[in-house]
A and B are shown apart, each in its own frame.
Chain A
Amino acid sequence: MQCQMCDKTATVHLTEIINGAKIERHLCEQCAQQEGITIKSQVPINELLNNIMAVQEEAQELSDLKCPQCNISWAEFRKRGLLGCPNDYLAFSKALTPLIKRAHNGASSHLGRSPAQHKDTAGQQAKMLRLRQKLQRAVESEDYESAARIRDEINQISSN
Chain B
Amino acid sequence: MKIDLTQICRNVGSWLTQSGPVSDIVISSRVRFARNIAGFHFYSQADSQQREEILQFAHDKLMATNLHGKLLYVNMCDTSDLERHLLTERHLISKELAEKDGSRAVAWTHDESLAVMINEEDHLRIQVMANGLQLDKTFERICEVDDLLAHQLEYAFSSQFGYLTGCPTEVGTGIRVSVLLPLPGLKMTQEIEKVFRAAKDMHLAVRGLYGEGSEPIGDFFQLSNQITLGKTEEEIIESLVVHAVEPIVEYEKRARRKLLQEKQNALDDKIFRAKGILSAARLISSEEALYMLSYVRLGIHLGRIQDIDLATVNRLFLLTQPAHLQNLYQETFDASHRDLARAEYIRKAICN
A85 in complex: contacting residue of B42, B154, B157, CB < 8 Å? B42
Answer whether residue A158 sits at the interface, using C-beta atoms and an 8 A cutoff. Answer: yes
- The residues of A that contact B165 with a CB separation of less than 8 Å are 83
> Knowing A82-B167, A89-B164 touch, does A109 contact B230 (C-beta < 8 A)?
yes
Interface string of A19-38 (1 = CB under 8 A from B): 10000000000000000000
Could you list 27 A-B pairs, sorted by A, with CB under 8 Å? A69-B41, A72-B45, A82-B42, A83-B42, A83-B44, A86-B38, A86-B42, A86-B164, A89-B164, A100-B171, A103-B169, A104-B171, A104-B227, A104-B229, A110-B158, A110-B160, A110-B162, A112-B231, A113-B146, A113-B232, A115-B157, A122-B158, A125-B154, A128-B38, A129-B41, A158-B39, A158-B154
Q: Which residues of A contact B39 (CB under 8 A)?
A: 125, 128-129, 131-132, 154, 158
Sample of 5 more A-B contacts, CB < 8 Å, known A104-B169, A104-B228, A110-B162: A89-B160, A110-B171, A120-B159, A128-B38, A158-B154
A89-B161, A110-B160, A115-B150 in contact; A82/B143 too (CB < 8 A)?
A: no
Q: How large is the interface on A (under 10, 10 to 19, 20 to 34, 35 or more residues)?
A: 35 or more
The total number of A-B Cβ pairs within 8 Å is: 145
Known: A82-B42, A84-B45. A110 touches B168 (CB 8 A): no
Q: Is B127 an interface residue (CB 8 A)?
A: no
Task: Give, as a whole number of angstroms, the nearest-CB distance from B123 to chain A.
Answer: 11
What 0/1 pattern do residues 197 to 208 of B give for CB contact below 8 A with A? 000100100000
Distance, CA A107 to CA B229, complexed state (A)? 6
Residues of chain B in range 163-183 having any CB-CB distance to chain A below 8 Å: 163-169, 171-173, 175
| A114 contacts B162, C-beta separation under 8 Å | yes
Residue interface mask B6-50, A partner, CB < 8 A = 1: 000000000000000000000000000000101111101100011
Q: Are A109 and B160 in touch, CB under 8 angstroms?
A: yes
B303-345: which residues lie under 8 A (CB-CB) from chain A? none
Give the residue among A80, A99, A115 with the most B Cβ atoms within 10 A: A115
Inter-chain CA distance A113–B200, complex, in Å, is 26
**Cα–Cα distance between A128 and B39 once the two chains are bound (Å):** 5
Report the Cα distance A105→B229, complex, angstroms. Answer: 9
